[in-house]
Amino acid sequence: MQKKTFTAIASKVLAVAVLNINEETGELFDWACYVDSVRGHNHSQEFEAVASVGDKQPKRFAEVFFPQFDISKYRY
């Protein structure tokens, strides 16, 4: 199962974490972070596009944007 969450880096820039969750255990299997610009009108709708076409971020940026996720499970 896949879940997505986002954080605004600026009003027109979003970082999106794409989490792969083990369906049987509910635990985080791995994850990745993507960043892209958006129009800034409605982040709740705009984040899906960032997850699809945003630039994948290196581990060092991902852990800053999403410190709540286990960085050892970051997908390269």
Of 47, 44, 45, nearest to 13 by C-alpha is 47
For strands 55-56 and 28-37, give the pairing.
antiparallel
Q: Which alpha helices (DSSP H) does 1-76 contain, by range?
A: 43-53, 59-65
| Per-residue model confidence as pLDDT tens digits over 29-76 | 999 999 999 999 999 999 999 999 999 999 999 999 999 999 999 998
Distance CA 1, CA 4 (A): 10
| Per-residue model confidence as pLDDT tens digits over 12-40 | 999 999 999 999 999 999 999 999 999 99
List, in sequence order, every beta strand (DSSP E) within 1-76: 2-10, 13-21, 28-37, 55-56
